[in-house]
Amino acid sequence: MGLFSALLVGLCALGARADILSGMPDAAPPGYEEWMSPLVLPAKTVTGDGPWASAVARARQFVANLTLEEKVNLTTGAGTDNRCVGNTGSIPRLNFTSFCLEDSPLGVRFTDFASAFPAGINVAMTWDKQMMYDRGYAMGQEHYGKGVNMALGPMTNMGRVQAGGRNWEGFGGDPYLSGWATYQTVSGMQAAGVIATVKHYIGNEQEHYRGGGGAYQVYSSNIDDRTMHEIYAWPFAEAVRAGVGSVMCSYNKINQTQACQNSKTLNGILKEELDFQGFIMSDWTAIIDGPDSVLAGTDMNMPGFMAYGQPEEHDPATAMYGYWGYNLIQMVYNGTVPESRVDDMATRIMAAYYKMGQDKNYPAVNFDQTTEDTYVNGVLVNEHVNVMGTHGQTIREIGAASTIVLKNTGVLPIDVTKYKHYGIFGSDAGPNPDGPNGCSDRGCDQGTLAMGWGSGSANFPYLIDPLAAITSFVYSKEPDTVLEGILNDYNYAAINQVASQADICLVFANADSGEGYITVDNNAGDRNNLTLWHGGEAIVNASTAYCNNTIVVLHTSGAVTLEEWVDNENVTAVLYSALPGQESGNSLVDVLFGAVTPSGKLPYTIAKQRSDYPADVVYTSDQTTPQITYEEALKIDYRWFDSLGIEPRYPFGFGLSYTTFEYSELSIWEVGLYDQYPYSNASSLVAPGGPTDLFYTAFGVSFHVTNTGSRDGAEVSQLYLGFPESAGEPPKVLRGFEKTFIKSQNTATVVLGLLKHDISIWDVISQSWVVPSGTFTVMIGSSSRDIRLNGTFVV
Ligand SMILES: *[C@@H]1O[C@H](CO)[C@@H](O)[C@H](O)[C@H]1NC(C)=O
Ligand SMILES: *[C@@H]1O[C@H](CO)[C@@H](O)[C@H](O)[C@H]1NC(C)=O
Ligand SMILES: *[C@@H]1O[C@H](CO)[C@@H](O)[C@H](O)[C@H]1NC(C)=O
Ligand SMILES: *[C@@H]1O[C@H](CO)[C@@H](O)[C@H](O)[C@H]1NC(C)=O
Ligand SMILES: *[C@@H]1O[C@H](CO)[C@@H](O)[C@H](O)[C@H]1NC(C)=O
Ligand SMILES: *[C@@H]1O[C@H](CO)[C@@H](O)[C@H](O)[C@H]1NC(C)=O
Ligand SMILES: *[C@@H]1O[C@H](CO)[C@@H](O)[C@H](O)[C@H]1NC(C)=O
Ligand SMILES: *[C@@H]1O[C@H](CO)[C@@H](O)[C@H](O)[C@H]1NC(C)=O
Ligand SMILES: *[C@@H]1O[C@H](CO)[C@@H](O)[C@H](O)[C@H]1NC(C)=O
Ligand SMILES: *[C@@H]1O[C@H](CO)[C@@H](O)[C@H](O)[C@H]1NC(C)=O
Ligand SMILES: *[C@@H]1O[C@H](CO)[C@@H](O)[C@H](O)[C@H]1NC(C)=O
């Protein structure tokens, strides 16, 4: 059946008219004909499955009492000139105020007395499930305290291209690790009462041509069905399983169809397969057609107006006359959209509200994202409510736990009694001369880098820079020390001079990226290269030329290439700190001087050269819809390096410790639940996240880890699975990990469960997860390239 006839069948099934196909979908350019999205209609109505039963029942009752206009008001944004970045309409008749929607995935954006948490990528670098939850909970508390109903995070797009501008907001290059980080973050945030919004659904892996705001060229992410399920949708499925209230559809297209109008991804994968019970919210101006977006499954239109720069953008009264609002009422009146669809949209929104308990004394909004002034026209808009609690301590701990030691010839941990003269080089060691919030949305790279730029940012309440933290620590221990910081990145003569005198040197360098609406040093969101900014390599050279004990500390938004200098014998250590948030310097000091034994591990591969990676940013295109085909398919990140036998500089999962661990006594057993839940019955047991039998443990795995060194420390044990040859999987895929704190000379037993989901592959023909039969290999290691134990099981 051709797409056109499929379209007609779908629409006729709905009783809708064929002339609504205006915005659906673009014709595929020659050579891309197979990359088209099928129609999946109608949108599935919320069922109240699993833990959603009472919330959905209450939502239904509430919605049953509303007029069409009131229901539409819940679904449509009222512009961005209000107190939050997104604000729905209100229901004055019931004294029901509008919902407040606010960024970001690392804190509350556009306010004060709120924390700047480590970026998503840092919590992935900890590989610590509890920290993932704790960070989510603390952020949830802050959003709650500010009166935010819906927090716009976590972001869980995959780090498919290393230069991708927003990779740092997410959790790296592996869906299983990202899945855990997403599940725990959502669980934590929502336990604090705020509705989490997992984003950007889906295929939003680069900034160039990502669309939005009426952009002319918008890329199409062409993702095959199996790769969609096994890689890109996996973390979103985990969010749904965690009970996420909201999913944000993205700006880009998937298979030629706009993400917020793609019935296959929204109705099909999210609402049918994954049994999603919450609501789908559009990214800001991601909707470009009224009926298509509604019928395809989007439930909330943000921020309400059609495009930035239009008169309605700054007119809250008419913002609701965008594609929805008044027009949604028209769509019901003229028969394009059944009123039952609007009922379902409003019910899903209210279900999330009841599920999170927001009907019980939820705090009112007490800040204003448009101004820091306390009063506007005599009206109190900013109460400056302090929501930080003791989160600074949590932030410091996550920062230290996420710090990855890549190289250490023995200088670390620094013995503070041993050195008399420190040289500290690079602007990344010090403060931003314009202040920690000197650049709007952190859209510059000045001073130490602790956060990327764009809507994924927040204001710093303070920022402890490395130079200040090291100075304060060293002088508290060893007052008779010389410590010289040079923050000018280009004064090589001064650096040479100090380096020649110092007995320990620390070079700080960074690489920044962010969201595409801000360009920094010619980088339009995505990075142009994988090298260091501000001539970082030259600073390293200027130090190593004279200082045989040079420690390099990197604050980067993604992988950088290190080949020019990493093997230099005078580089005695390399620390990878990414974007640690407000306690940056303190977190670093904790690791540098040994208060904390490092345990961070890479959430992506660091290659020897950029061309070793499987995919890259598409920077230029003359197509109206630039085609980004995910040709590497399942072979994202380390799976590519393993499949092609490419030697990375530092593999996925790598990170050094100050102690040593030995692994022993692997055992594997079948749990047996697997037989009790035959696959063919899966559809009768569906719950949010997918068929319930997928989440029973099929096999148990245990092994011992012994801390054989002299320091206490934590080890991240990793389980990689090798599928039977016939399954067509990459050589190994991450399917388990656990971070275990083990005292020196002690042994811990690590027990991991392999869920049925973990040993399944997505079968395109049957459109279901199936367990391939054959021999599976269980590889337990300290990184993806440091496998310590091997075992097998047979299915
Ligand atoms: C995109 O097209 C590919 C190739 O035909 C197909 O496997 C996949 O299911 C499609 N995905 C969507 C969301 O349309
Ligand atoms: C619906 O409205 C009726 C009449 O106004 C009222 O009695 C009832 O409590 C309302 N129900 C809900 C769930 O608001
Ligand atoms: C819809 O929301 C707007 C903005 O809050 C409000 O002014 C208007 O009265 C609401 N309409 C209805 C029918 O409740
Ligand atoms: C409406 O809500 C406000 C704020 O919660 C409250 O002060 C007021 O008393 C309410 N009015 C009615 C009529 O319920
Ligand atoms: C129905 O109304 C909507 C919203 O105004 C409009 O986009 C659509 O073209 C209309 N359809 C028909 C068949 O009139
Ligand atoms: C890479 O980009 C950064 C930031 O724009 C720039 O400072 C640096 O010079 C670039 N590197 C190369 C090798 O061009
Ligand atoms: C740094 O030194 C290495 C090794 O000598 C050299 O290959 C590289 O070009 C130098 N880089 C810069 C920016 O000076
Ligand atoms: C290492 O440092 C020493 C000074 O201690 C210097 O003489 C030597 O050239 C440096 N080596 C390299 C490879 O930079
Ligand atoms: C650096 O050079 C000094 C002086 O030659 C030497 O004592 C020291 O051991 C060297 N340090 C390293 C880390 O090689
Ligand atoms: C599977 O489903 C069939 C048909 O609904 C039912 O007869 C059978 O008992 C189910 N089996 C199990 C193990 O639940
Ligand atoms: C386990 O198997 C992997 C992959 O075949 C191999 O590289 C590794 O050396 C093996 N390790 C042990 C401890 O047997």
610 lines ligand 6 (CB under 6 A): no
Dist. CA 273 → ligand 10 center (Å): 20
In this predicted model, what pLDDT tens digit does every residue of 421-470 receive, in sequence order?
Answer: 999 999 999 999 999 999 999 999 999 999 999 999 999 999 999 999 99
Q: Kindly give, in sequence order, each residue whose CB lies less than 8 Å from that of residue 622, ignoring residues fewer than 6 positions away.
A: none
Minimum mean pLDDT range among 96-105, 332-341, 443-452, 669-678: 669-678
Side-chain-side CA neighbours of 580 within 13 Å: the count stands at 37
Please tell me what DSSP assigns to residue 681.
G
Report yes or no: 754 and 698 within 8 Å, Cβ to Cβ.
yes
Minimum mean pLDDT range among 8-17, 451-460, 530-539, 634-643: 8-17
- H-helix or E-strand spanning residue 668: strand 661-670
pLDDT over threshold 60, residue 3: no
Burial of 581 (0-12, 13-18, 19+ CB in 10 A): buried
- Supply the pLDDT for residue 673: 57
pLDDT over threshold 60, residue 695: yes
pLDDT over threshold 50, residue 520: yes
Return d(Cα 444, Cα 453) in angstroms, integer. Answer: 8
Rg of the chain over CA atoms, in angstroms?
26
91 lines ligand 3 (CB under 6 A): yes
Residue with the larger pLDDT of the pair 310 and 104 = 104
Query: What is residue 493's three-state secondary structure?
Result: helix
In the predicted model, what is the mean pLDDT of residues 103-109? 98
Report yes or no: 178 and 158 within 8 Å, Cβ to Cβ.
yes
Dist. CA 548 → ligand 9 center (Å): 6
> Helices (DSSP H) in 594-716: which residue ranges?
638-644, 673-676
Phi and psi (nearest 5°) for 60?
A: -60, -45
Q: Could you tell which of 565, 566, 571 is best to mutate to test the pocket of ligand 7, judged by most ligand atoms within 8 Å of the CB?
A: 565
Ligand 10 atom with the shortest distance to the CA of 680: 1
Dist. CA 610 → ligand 7 center (Å): 17
- Supply the pLDDT for residue 55: 98
Phi and psi (nearest 5°) for 768?
A: -155, 165
Minimum mean pLDDT range among 93-102, 182-191, 562-571, 691-700: 691-700
Q: Could you tell which of 65, 67, 72, 73 is best to mutate to test the pocket of ligand 3, judged by most ligand atoms within 8 Å of the CB?
A: 73
In 520-583, which ranges are E strands?
550-556, 571-576
Helices 492-501, 536-544: inter-axial angle, 10-degree rounding: 40
The two tokens of residue 700 are 């148990």
Dist. CA 358 → ligand 2 center (Å): 18
The position carrying tokens 């291209």 is 161
What pTM was estimated for this model as a whole?
A: 0.95
Return d(Cα 619, Cα 524) in angstroms, integer. Answer: 10
Q: Could you tell which of 537, 566, 608 is best to mutate to test the pocket of ligand 7, judged by most ligand atoms within 8 Å of the CB?
A: 537
In this predicted model, what pLDDT tens digit does every residue of 221-267 receive, in sequence order?
Answer: 999 999 999 999 999 999 999 999 999 999 999 999 999 999 999 99
Dist. CA 596 → ligand 1 center (Å): 47
**Taking CB atoms and a 6 Å cutoff, what residues make up the pocket around ligand 8?**
544-546, 548, 568-570
In this predicted model, what pLDDT tens digit does every residue of 108-144 receive, in sequence order?
Answer: 999 999 999 999 999 999 999 999 999 999 999 999 9
Q: Whose CA is nearest to atom 9 of ligand 5?
A: 20
- Supply the pLDDT for residue 677: 47
Q: Whose CA is nearest to atom 9 of ligand 3?
A: 92
- Number of the ligand closest to the Cα of 414: 9
208 lines ligand 1 (CB under 6 A): no
Q: Kindly give, in sequence order, each residue whose CB lies less than 8 Å from that of residue 31, ignoring residues fewer than 6 positions away.
A: none
681 lines ligand 10 (CB under 6 A): yes
- Supply the pLDDT for residue 676: 47
pLDDT over threshold 80, residue 366: yes
**Largest pairwise CA distance in the chain:** 83
Report yes or no: 184 and 235 within 8 Å, Cβ to Cβ.
no
Q: Whose CA is nearest to atom 1 of ligand 5?
A: 331
Residues linked to residue 422 through DSSP beta bridges, in sequence order: 483, 504
Q: Whose CA is nearest to atom 9 of ligand 8?
A: 545
Q: How far is CA 417 from the centre of its chain?
A: 41
Q: Does domain 403-604 have CATH number 3.40.30.10?
A: no
Q: Kindly give, in sequence order, each residue whose CB lies less than 8 Å from that of residue 767, ignoring residues fewer than 6 positions away.
A: none
> Which CATH architecture does the domain made up of 659-794 adopt?
Sandwich (2.60)
Query: In which band, very low, low, confident or very high, does the pLDDT at 311 lie, cut at 50, 70 and 90?
Result: confident
Ligand 10 atom with the shortest distance to the CA of 677: 13
Where do the structural domains in the chain lie, given as residue ranges? 65-380, 403-604, 659-794
Q: Kindly give, in sequence order, each residue whose CB lies less than 8 Å from that of residue 337, ignoring residues fewer than 6 positions away.
A: 16, 291, 294, 295, 328, 331
- Supply the pLDDT for residue 18: 35
Query: In which band, very low, low, confident or very high, does the pLDDT at 25 lie, cut at 50, 70 and 90?
Result: low
Burial of 354 (0-12, 13-18, 19+ CB in 10 A): buried
Dist. CA 79 → ligand 2 center (Å): 29
In the predicted model, what is the mean pLDDT of residues 45-62? 96
Ligand 5 atom with the shortest distance to the CA of 334: 1
Report yes or no: 459 and 440 within 8 Å, Cβ to Cβ.
no
- Supply the pLDDT for residue 617: 98
> Helices (DSSP H) in 374-531: which residue ranges?
391-402, 466-477, 492-501
In this predicted model, what pLDDT tens digit does every residue of 66-82 receive, in sequence order?
Answer: 999 999 999 999 998 89
Dist. CA 336 → ligand 5 center (Å): 7
pLDDT over threshold 60, residue 675: no
Is 512 part of the annotated catalytic residue set?
no
The two tokens of residue 382 are 């900013």
Q: Kindly give, in sequence order, each residue whose CB lies less than 8 Å from that of residue 734, ignoring residues fewer than 6 positions away.
A: 174, 176, 177, 652, 653, 718, 719, 720, 721, 784
Per the prediction, the chain carries an average pLDDT of: 94
Query: In which band, very low, low, confident or very high, does the pLDDT at 674 lie, cut at 50, 70 and 90?
Result: low
Dihedral sign for Cα 269, 273, 276, 279, please: positive
Per annotation, catalytic residue among 283, 289, 299, 590: 283
Q: Single out the residue of 482, 477, 364, 488 nearest to residue 413, CA to CA.
A: 477
Query: In which band, very low, low, confident or very high, does the pLDDT at 320 lie, cut at 50, 70 and 90?
Result: confident
In this predicted model, what pLDDT tens digit does every residue of 380-429 receive, in sequence order?
Answer: 999 999 999 999 999 999 999 999 999 999 999 999 999 999 999 999 99
In the predicted model, what is the mean pLDDT of residues 707-720? 98
CATH number belonging to domain 65-380: 3.20.20.300
Query: In which band, very low, low, confident or very high, does the pLDDT at 314 lie, cut at 50, 70 and 90?
Result: confident
197 lines ligand 3 (CB under 6 A): no
- Supply the pLDDT for residue 26: 73
Return d(Cα 371, Cα 355) in angstroms, integer. Answer: 32
Q: Whose CA is nearest to atom 14 of ligand 3?
A: 91
Q: How far is CA 106 from the centre of its chain?
A: 10
